[in-house]
Amino acid sequence: MPELPEVETVRRGLVSLVIGKTIRRVDVLWPKIIESPEVDQFRNELVGETIEGVGRRGKYLIFHFTHYDMVSHLRMEGKYEFFPEATTLDKHSHIRFVFTDDSELIYNDVRKFGRMSLMKKNTGLQYKGIQQLGPEPTNETFDLAEFETRLNKAHTMIKPLLLNQKIVAGLGNIYVDEVLWLSKIHPEQPANTLTTKEVEILHQAIITVINKAKEAGGTTIRTYLNALGEAGHFQQELNVYGQTGKPCPRCGTPIAKMKVAQRGTHYCPHCQQLKR
Ligand SMILES: [Zn+2]
């Protein structure tokens, strides 16, 4: 599943490839991907629209057109592919944006879970899923005091709490394991039992890990490729995710794997001990 750094890589790829392009035609081969408006309206409204920018909030892409915003959520396997000239579609190509210069942007999604919504210009951030998101994990937007207040009120395990996107946006299964390892916090530690010092370390680890992953272009897991067709290389920097049985880079103890809230979870049994 693409996480925030992968979606950011897709966004940058799109910015370099489709800004300034005007839509001549939109083909919708799998209507369910279009959440709103109706498919015919979606296709018709986009004709003649120019892509002025591509933004991102959490794992949502926001295309800024002349008169509309389009929110696009890749979910499990969605990806965009750009072709400089007309191409043939394969069975996983579901939406095709044909530009006036004959180039094409194709939305491809093996699982078909991705969704697109066309909204009035400058209202993309009001999309329901986006409104529920916590702050972006950057120094400018992610407030430590607010984070501590939210954690203090939560009796749930820290890992699923960080995964739910409401306290901070953009942490999926890979990066949450990395962040907790870096912070020496057990994934099942109840959030309200963390000390002020631990919260501070965790806060900084979230910002650091996501930033590094963004710089590396994300992590390529399975078939995931970015919009430019080039793989991210953050997997070279993974300390625990997918490292079961390998020595912890900090203490040498073999990395263990367990289920936490139904998610495969990697951790160091020595560095990350559950405190009662
Ligand atoms: Zn360790």
Read off the pLDDT of each residue in 25-37 and give the average, rounded to a whole number.
Answer: 97
- According to DSSP, the β-strands at 263-267 and 104-108 are unpaired
**What six digits make up the tokens of 112?**
């078909």
Q: What is the pLDDT of residues 238-260, one digit of tens each?
A: 999 999 999 999 999 999 999 99
- Proportion of the chain above pLDDT 90, given as a percent: 77
Spatial contact of 66 and 50, defined as CB atoms under 8 Å apart: yes
- The reply, when asked if residue 111 is annotated as ligand binding, is yes
Q: What is the CATH number of domain 4-131?
A: 3.20.190.10
C-alpha to C-alpha distance for 30 and 62, rounded to whole angstroms: 20
Model pTM greater than 0.75? yes
Q: What are the extents of the domains in the chain? A: 4-131, 144-267
Helix (H) or strand (E) run with residue 212 in it:
helix 196-215
**What six digits make up the tokens of 70?**
């389009």
Q: What is the pLDDT of residues 127-164, one digit of tens each?
A: 999 999 999 999 999 999 999 999 999 999 999 999 99
CA angle 98, 87, 223 (to 5 degrees): 100
Closest CA to 72 of 62, 80, 81: 62
CATH topology of domain 144-267: Helicase, Ruva Protein; domain 3 (1.10.8)
Ligand 1 center from residue 252 Cα (angstroms): 6
pLDDT at 222 over 50: no
Write out the catalytic residue numbers: 2-3, 59, 263
Ligand 1 center from residue 272 Cα (angstroms): 7
Read off the pLDDT of each residue in 188-193 and give the average, rounded to a whole number.
Answer: 98
Ligand 1 center from residue 248 Cα (angstroms): 5
Read off the pLDDT of each residue in 202-218 and give the average, rounded to a whole number.
Answer: 91
